Amino acid sequence: MSPWIAPPAPTWVAELDRRAPISELSVDRHYGAARLLVTASGSPVGIVDVPLVEGRAAAADIRRAVDEQLGELPDPPPPPTSTDPITVVVATRGRPRSLERCVRAVLAGDHADVTVLVVDNDPADDRTAAAVRAIGDERVRYVREPRRGASVGRNRGLQESTTPVVAFTDDDTEPDRGWAARIAGAFAGAPDLVCVSGPVLAARLATAEELAADSALAWNKGFERRKFSLDDPPADSAIFPFSPGLFGIGANLAVRTAVARAVGGFDEALGPGSPTHGGEDCEFLVRLVLAGHVIGYEPSAWVWHHHRPGADALHAQLRGYAIGLGGFLTKVALDPRARAAAARRLPAALAQLRHISERESGAGAGMPTGTGRTRLRGLAAGPWAYLRGRRAARRAGGRVPPLVAPDGPPSQPLALTL
């Protein structure tokens, strides 16, 4: 398989069925490349970058790119599907147009028994409620949550849900048509799974900032079905289970409702809308693993994400993620058992930070200047942000669950000493 080469900006994004006849690609002439999600019978095989000339690529050139970049990869197994009922929670604030696009994508899917809970966090106006009314679908429920924060909104969704499985996505995504049915299928086919994530792919790569964000954030975790647990640590993570990003992100996440409630839901001192700006999804997934649960990654359940198109928005996003990571690490440090286990992984963690820095450095001209300094300052601000967020959440009666439960499974202390 040939090495991945970052395509020139701007880049057209589309899907390609490997088993279907390939036709010439013709798009707006200002696009210099195409990024194609290659699928087979609905399951993703890989991503191919194809150069465009005046917005065009011949069918033979596309076929050649697929063969060179993906090689003779076998077709993946068919995606799991189920008609079991599922609730999709979208926590939002002040982005009605983006929200409406997301909700309509969920409703257009092929799952017949899906409920969408739109949780409107601390709304400044009624635009989100109006967007839900405009959708006009009885499968959508609007919930007004007086407190701000993505974790608060997700916890409210967990509270309101009446289905065994709850899926979460963000208001800036467009879930694939098969997303909800495949998430339901992943749980139906593996009773041991308590949580499932999937790929988060760029919906647009029309600006240098979008291209840079896609490279730097690395939200697509590949197209291999995986499971993670303390009993079977992955060979590709020396810092497991304290592995930010390894398991997936909150823009594409589903969990068994009863388990999520039992572990305390999301930490309301973390995440967008709190002083930490992020880290809530990473902490939640790590907490599930530390509690002895099995979480999975289902590559056929993907969502399209609309990256930040401008430099200021991307800078704010990267800064927020750095603060959130610092907040998550602070929570690890505050827990005696987690702290002892994490300390033994410190050299590997520093190597991981260097890898992130190198990835951002190679992300292209769209990266804001001073990204390295922004990351370091964000990490340094994380501890104070988390402490402020924790105090605020507790004053409001919110949830700040411990990272390692005092009554965890008997194998937990042993596993943490490995």
Write out the chain's pLDDT in tens, 418 residues.
Answer: 444 444 446 899 999 998 889 999 999 999 999 999 999 988 999 999 999 999 999 999 999 999 999 987 777 888 999 999 999 999 999 999 999 999 999 999 999 899 999 999 999 999 999 999 999 999 999 999 999 999 999 999 999 999 999 999 999 999 999 999 999 999 999 999 999 999 999 999 988 888 887 877 777 788 999 999 999 888 888 888 888 778 889 999 999 999 999 999 999 999 999 999 999 999 999 999 999 999 999 999 999 999 877 778 888 888 898 999 999 999 999 998 888 877 777 666 666 666 555 555 545 555 556 667 877 898 899 999 999 999 999 999 999 999 998 765 433 443 444 3
| Ordered DSSP codes for 100-137 | HHHHHHHHTSS-SSEEEEEEEES-SSSHHHHHHHHH--
- The pair of structure tokens assigned to 259 is 């388990």
> Position 363: which residue type?
A
Q: Look up residue 401 and give its DSSP letter.
A: -
* C-alpha to C-alpha distance for 195 and 182, rounded to whole angstroms: 13
Per-residue pLDDT at 274: 96
Which value, to the nearest 10 degrees, does the dihedral of the CA atoms of residues 84, 87, 88, 90 take?
Answer: 180
What's the pTM?
0.90
* C-alpha to C-alpha distance for 393 and 388, rounded to whole angstroms: 9
Q: Checking DSSP bridges between strand 252-256 and strand 193-197, what pairing results, if any?
A: antiparallel
> Position 180: which residue type?
A
H or E element that contains 196:
strand 193-197
The CATH classification number of 79-418 equals 3.90.550.10
> Position 155: which residue type?
N
Distances in Å between the Cα of 220 and the Cα atoms of 86, 236, 375 are 23, 16, 21
Per-residue pLDDT at 170: 97
Instruction: Give span(s): CATH 3.90.550.10, the chain.
Output: 79-418
